[in-house]
Amino acid sequence: MPVENSRGEIRPQLAIGMPVYNGGRWLEESIDSILSQSVTNFELLIADNASTDDTETICRRYAEIDSRVRYHRHAYNRGALKNYNDVFGMTASKYFKWASCSDHCKPTFFERCIEVLESRDDVVLAYPQTMLFSSDTGQECLFYQNLMLEDQAASQRIGIALDWLEGLNCAYNGIFRRSALEKIMPYKEVRSYDINLMLEMSLHGKFVEIAKPLFHRRFDPESTGILLNQRDRVSFFGAYKMEFGRLQWTMREMDRLAMPFRAPISFAEKLRIERELLGRLVWRLPSLLRKSITLLKRVWSKVINI
């Protein structure tokens, strides 16, 4: 059913934001998998970071033949992380999904996730199981995210998320309830802050996993940020804040400690979560101290060489 915004304007039920930079190799496959969904009430916004390959040509062609596709080209490469914020801010819908230009969505992906979100107001994220595949080797395997966060207590949900979110964050490719997601957007434009976003989302509601691999994630060096070589990382992430260094690691940890006090939960729950976070931080304290000392040495060396 069509959804109206506060001004009475019709908006799509679901918005898909696709940040892209030089994604021409697999872009058509990805767009086709989205446009072939069993539900049709959505828009696909593609935000192009000034690609130098045939990405623009491909996107403009789709925008001409399908009214659900909207194409925006940035004047310069803003970096993938800023572009992920951009596609959220440039859309308006009841539900939202980020999409990659190299992955595939099976035809019932959107339908199955929206069914959950429509029937349960306590759910803020619905996502299907993920099949990892490689176009280089032809191999594929089921990836277990284990983020069925159905506990009533936010402290229980974030505890499970902390155990299972480090590494590949495939649940991030599910469908979010925008009213919850917009409370914590925009997120910081630093690598690995998507993990923090997911942790904070778990404080706003429950996560449900669809027990079927409806999301197929390409896992090749050209398509996965953690597998990119140094030169390609500069182009993908942008020249600024590209490396996940010690300072950024510290920023991420400090942001986690602030999460409970931003969340709409009881003060008792805030304290439980803070105790859990501090406990995990203390457990990693030796590593943190080594990293902090190394960081201070690097900063001091730069200061004395000015």
Q: What CATH number has the domain bearing residue 86?
A: 3.90.550.10
Say if 285 falls within a structural domain.
Answer: no
Helix runs in 27-105, H state only: 27-35, 55-65, 80-89
Say if 292 falls within a structural domain.
Answer: no
What is the CB neighbour count within 10 angstroms for residue 122?
11
Say if 298 falls within a structural domain.
Answer: no
Cα angle, residue 303 at apex, residues 298 and 305 outer, rounded to 5°:
95
Residue 254: strand, helix, or coil: helix
Q: Give me the pLDDT at residue 252, please.
A: 84
Out of 41-45, 101-105, 240-244, pick the least confident. 240-244
Say if 47 falls within a structural domain.
Answer: yes
Cα angle, residue 143 at apex, residues 138 and 145 outer, rounded to 5°:
160
Per the CB < 8 A criterion, the answer to whether 101 and 20 are in contact is yes
Structural domain that includes position 113 = 11-237
Q: Is the pLDDT of residue 48 over 70?
A: yes
Q: Is the pLDDT of residue 161 over 70?
A: yes
Q: Give me the pLDDT at residue 57, please.
A: 97
Q: Is the pLDDT of residue 15 over 80?
A: yes
Number of domain units in the chain = 1
Per-residue confidence band for 240, with pLDDT thresholds at 50, 70 and 90: very low
What is the CB neighbour count within 10 angstroms for residue 183?
15
Average pLDDT over residues 66-91: 94
Per-residue confidence band for 229, with pLDDT thresholds at 50, 70 and 90: very low
pLDDT, tens digit (0-9, with 9 covering 90-100), for 20-37: 999 999 999 999 999 999
Q: Give me the pLDDT at residue 126, please.
A: 98
Sign of the torsion formed by the C-alpha atoms of 283, 284, 290 and 292:
negative
Which whole-number Å values give the CA distances from 240 to 154, 229, 233, 249, 273, in the listed order? Answer: 34, 16, 11, 16, 32
Average pLDDT over residues 249-254: 81
Which has the higher per-residue pLDDT, 43 or 298?
43
For the chain, the helix, strand and coil percentages under 3-state DSSP, each to the nearest 5: 45, 20, 35
Per-residue confidence band for 242, with pLDDT thresholds at 50, 70 and 90: very low
Peptide bond into 186 cis (omega under 30): yes
Reference 33, options 216, 175, 209; nearest CA is 216
Q: How far is CA 45 from the centre of its chain?
A: 15
Q: Is the pLDDT of residue 236 over 60?
A: no
Say if 3 falls within a structural domain.
Answer: no
The CA distance from 106 to 122, in Å, is 25
Average pLDDT over residues 61-72: 97
The CA distance from 111 to 93, in Å, is 16
Say if 193 falls within a structural domain.
Answer: yes
The CA distance from 209 to 23, in Å, is 28
Buried b (16+ CB within 10 A) or exposed e, 93-111: bbbbbbbbbbbbbbebbbe
Q: Give me the pLDDT at residue 158, please.
A: 96
If you compute the radius of gyration of the chain from its CA atoms, what whole number of angstroms results? 20
Per-residue confidence band for 216, with pLDDT thresholds at 50, 70 and 90: very high
Per-residue confidence band for 81, with pLDDT thresholds at 50, 70 and 90: confident
Average pLDDT of the chain?
A: 86
Out of 217-221, 232-236, 291-295, pick the least confident. 232-236
Per-residue confidence band for 293, with pLDDT thresholds at 50, 70 and 90: low
pLDDT, tens digit (0-9, with 9 covering 90-100), for 96-148: 999 999 999 999 999 999 999 999 999 999 999 999 998 777 788 999 888 89
**What is the pTM for the complete model shown?**
0.84
Say if 60 falls within a structural domain.
Answer: yes
Q: Give me the pLDDT at residue 66, please.
A: 97
Average pLDDT over residues 232-240: 51
What DSSP character marks residue 297? H
Say if 187 falls within a structural domain.
Answer: yes
Q: State the residue for tokens 């990405």.
A: 55
Per the CB < 8 A criterion, the answer to whether 122 and 196 are in contact is no
Please give the torsion angle defined by the CA atoms of residues 117, 119, 120 and 121, in that order, rounded to the nearest 10 degrees. 80
